[in-house]
Structure 1
């Protein structure tokens, strides 16, 4: 055995490693990127919560990132017949829906208000019981915060809203909701504050996975990539034999 590092490229193992190794590394960097995004979201939320609510009709056009979690004040009345149920929302291990109801603003225009969570039948055999919001005669003044989704929702297929009310949603797609309502809506839904008129079970999660957990996932992916590379290196070279040799070993004449 010579003292030089020698390679033995077995094409199937080499191909497998060339395909999987970049994938593992890219997943690690993706998790690090998500950790950075979640850190910024949490910081933006904390910063915005110190601001006084602004009347929704006085907010001018601003970039989406400046509107995320912005506290707002709304004056108007609910249109209870125009209610949507956002499905697949779990709280405390229980399946349910988020209830979104259109609010007619006193200043004109419409806004979509996310009133919170209610329990629902996961098999969709029983109708979801939705408490009625305050009547239109009473009017409502409520506070909440704008919700700006961090990205486009992931949907397995293009969804169409069913007939009848309330209508079920797989994701909040404001253009489709506005088309069903038949009028322009404020571009972003308002997540209502607890204790406000029409509020249900409110427990908004700013981030569903903490930045620390994303970083832990990144370490796992990078560790898997390192392990794969090490296994490939030991399988495709004589590195292990070289490592096992002691400084006093002498090469055989036939080596």
Structure 2
């Protein structure tokens, strides 16, 4: 009789709701573990950056030699000597700094026949979108130190139209292939971010790690809490529904 009763209860289960409940629960748990993985990745990168900060700056030739390695070249310290191309300035749009919107300023430096895009820092923008900030391009030969960063192109809702450019050129993303076509010369596949101690350039507020590991763990805790709250709510709803059915 007991087995028959269990089979009867088993058949009475609202299986679509059970499946939906478990799918949502599994998704929330997965998001929590994903945030934990991201926290571990950030900790490893922090350690890597700390180790690199103790190293002497590499030459461009040394960086290019290392570019094929599995670990990549992100965050490597570099020293460049070359000539800035003063007539080509890129302004990366929608860049915040202390609750203010502005631009990151990029110029090209040519060193031993290679062209490299350099992040010179941040400048504040105008409320009027038709007004671009006044930029005094860097010209002449300079020796600069900075860190290498490979470009990651994010999701674009609409492709950038860079035909008939006027300089300085406002852009929504750094796309080295398209920039290369504009200047008629192949840019190397990374950007150099100036060190904060450099006197040339603008406000150097770039952070290699935007979201620290602690924040990822906080998000993980939130996802796990939501998973617990969700499964508790659905169990409570199921018990309440069962009691209601028995009373009828």
Q: TM-score range by the shorter chain?
A: 0.7 to 0.9
| Superposed displacement of residue 68, structure 1 | 1.0
Question: Counterparts of 1:205 and 1:240 in 2: how far apart (Å)?
Answer: 55
User: What does residue 113 of structure 2 align with?
Assistant: 108
2:13 to 4, 9, 15: 9
Q: 1:213 to 1:85 in 2, by over 3 A?
A: same
Q: Does 1:29 align with 2:33?
A: yes
Q: 1:146 to 1:212 in 2, by over 3 A?
A: same
Residues 32 and 214 of structure 1 are in contact (CA less than 8 Å); yes or no, is this contact kept in structure 2? yes
Q: Does 1:146 align with 2:148?
A: yes
Q: 1:53 to 1:232 in 2, by over 3 A?
A: same
User: What is the TM-score when the length of structure 1 is the normalising length?
Assistant: 0.82
Residues 95 and 122 of structure 1 are in contact (CA less than 8 Å); yes or no, is this contact kept in structure 2? no
SS of equivalent to 1:216: helix
Runs of 4+ in 1 over 6 A off after TM superposition: 238-241
2:208 to 206, 209, 213: 206
Give runs of aligned pairs for residues 4-153 of structure 1, distance below 5 A.
Answer: 9-10=13-14, 13-14=17-18, 16-59=20-63, 60=65, 61-63=67-69, 65-105=71-111, 107-133=112-138, 135-136=139-140, 139-149=141-151, 151-153=152-154
Could you say which structure has the greater relative contact order, defined with CA pairs below 8 angstroms and 6 or more residues apart?
A: 1
Cα deviation digits, residues 123-180 of structure 1 (max 9, x gap): 51211222321x32xx11111110135x542322332325211222222222222222
Q: 1:43 to 1:96 in 2, by over 3 A?
A: same
User: Greater share of helix residues, 1 or 2?
Assistant: 2
Question: Counterparts of 1:185 and 1:197 in 2: how far apart (Å)?
Answer: 24
Over aligned residue pairs, what C-alpha RMSD do you find?
2.7
Question: Counterparts of 2:197 and 2:209 in 1: how far apart (Å)?
Answer: 22
Residues 82 and 142 of structure 2 are in contact (CA less than 8 Å); yes or no, is this contact kept in structure 1? yes
Unaligned runs of 5+ in 1: 242-255
Question: Counterparts of 1:184 and 1:232 in 2: how far apart (Å)?
Answer: 58
Residues 113 and 192 of structure 1 are in contact (CA less than 8 Å); yes or no, is this contact kept in structure 2? yes
Question: Counterparts of 1:129 and 1:65 in 2: how far apart (Å)?
Answer: 39
**Larger deviation, residues 162-171 vs 39-48:** 162-171
Unaligned runs of 5+ in 2: 244-248
